[in-house]
Amino acid sequence: MPLLRVEGLGIDFGGLRAVDNVGFQVEPGEIVSVIGPNGAGKTTLFNMISGAYQPARGAVSLDGEIVTGMVPHLLARRGLSRTFQNLQIFQKMTVLENVMVGCHLQERASLLADLFSTPASRKRSAETRAAALKLLERVGLDCAADKEASSLSYGALKRLEIARALALEPRILLLDEPAAGCNAVETEEIDHLVADVAKSGVAILLVEHDMKLVMRISNHIVVLDRGEKIAEGRPGEVSRDPKVIEAYLGVQPKEAGGHALG
C-alpha cells in the first residue's frame, strides 16, 4: 500500500477547471516532484492534498485511510506536513524558538500547562529544546540557534522552514518551491537536505521550478499542464516526453532538440 495515494483529484474556480482528474502515489522514502508550466495547477494540487482547499472531486489517502479535505493540523497528526512558498517563519523569534513551536505542536502538550512550570513541564521543555537543537543540526543551523530568525540569509530561512516541518515528525513532507529565490550554493544545500530526509524514510512531495534540482533528486515526476496530468515517470523518461516538451516550450520536440528540461 502506498503511503500517499491521490486519485481523480479536481477543483474548479468559477468556470476554470484548475485541477482535473489528477492521480499518483508516493512510497516511503521516495522523492516525487510535481512540475508543469506556470498556471498548470501545481500549487492548487498541493493545497488540496495538504487540506488548505476542499477538492470538488477525487480522494486523498494516507496509508489506506481516506483523508480528503481533512484540516492541516489533523493531517499533521497523521504524518503529513508541508512548507510554504511564502515562508511561515516567526521573524522576531530565535531560530531555536521557531523549531520549538513546531515541536510543541507535535507533542500536543499544553503550552498553558508549561506556564505553571511544574517539574514535569520543565523536563518536557528541556526535551523539546534538545529535540529542536537536533533538528537544527540536521539542517545545518545549530550554530545559529540563538540568533533572531530575521538575521538569517534567505537560503538558511528555507532550511529553517524545513526544520519546522520536520518537528512534526512527518511520514510525508510536502515542499512548496524549497529552492525558490536561492542562489546556486543555497540550492545545493537544499538538495542535500531533501535527499538526506528522504534517506531517513520520509517521503517527499515537491513542487519546484528549478529543473536541474528536480531532475537530480526526484525518483518520480508528475507533469501537469492546464490542470491535467500529461505525463509521469522517471526524470529521464519525462524530460524526453514529447507532450512535456510541447507543454513547456509550446513547440514540437524536433524544434526543441529532443528535450526541454534541465
Ligand X SMILES: Nc1ncnc2c1ncn2[C@@H]1O[C@H](COP(=O)(O)OP(=O)(O)OP(=O)(O)O)[C@@H](O)[C@H]1O
Interacting stretch for ligand X, rule CB under 6 A, among 25-33, 41-49, 229-237, 239-247? 41-49
**Of 166 and 248, which CB lies nearer to ligand X in the complex structure?**
248
Interacting stretch for ligand X, rule CB under 6 A, among 34-42, 59-67, 113-121, 129-137? 34-42
**Of 40 and 49, which CB lies nearer to ligand X in the complex structure?**
40
Q: In the 3-class helix/strand/coil scheme, how is 71-116 assigned residue by residue?
A: CHHHHHHCCEEECCCCCCCCCCCEHHHHHHHHHHHHHCCCHHHHHC
Number of residues that bind ligand X (CB under 6 A): 11
36 binds ligand X (CB under 6 A): yes
Among the listed residues 173, 141, 187, 161, the one whose alpha carbon sits nearest the alpha carbon of residue 85: 161
By CB under 6 A, name the one of 1, 15, 38, 184 that touches ligand X: 38
Provide the edge-to-edge strand list for the sheet that holds 31-35: 80-82, 172-176, 203-207, 31-35, 220-225, 228-233
55 binds ligand X (CB under 6 A): no
By CB under 6 A, name the one of 6, 9, 18, 100 that touches ligand X: 18
At closest approach, how far in Å is the CB of 16 from ligand X? Answer: 6
d(CA 205, CA 150): 27
**Of 100 and 207, which CB lies nearer to ligand X in the complex structure?**
207
d(CA 170, CA 3): 11
Interacting stretch for ligand X, rule CB under 6 A, among 40-48, 61-69, 229-237, 241-249? 40-48
**Of 40 and 215, which CB lies nearer to ligand X in the complex structure?**
40
Residue 44: strand, helix, or coil: helix
d(CA 173, CA 50): 10
CB atoms under 10 Å from CB of 250, counted, come to: 10
213 binds ligand X (CB under 6 A): no
CB atoms under 10 Å from CB of 116, counted, come to: 9
41 binds ligand X (CB under 6 A): yes
135 binds ligand X (CB under 6 A): no
At closest approach, how far in Å is the CB of 172 from ligand X? Answer: 19
**Of 40 and 245, which CB lies nearer to ligand X in the complex structure?**
40
By CB under 6 A, name the one of 6, 30, 44, 55 that touches ligand X: 44
d(CA 194, CA 204): 8
At closest approach, how far in Å is the CB of 168 from ligand X? Answer: 23
By CB under 6 A, name the one of 39, 140, 242, 253 that touches ligand X: 39
200 binds ligand X (CB under 6 A): no
CA-to-CA dists, residue 36 to 8, 176, 232, 257, angstroms = 18, 13, 11, 19
Q: Which three cell numbers stand for residue 4?
A: 500517499
Among the listed residues 157, 52, 173, 29, the one whose alpha carbon sits nearest the alpha carbon of residue 99: 157
Residues that bind ligand X (CB under 6 A): 13, 16, 18, 36, 38-44
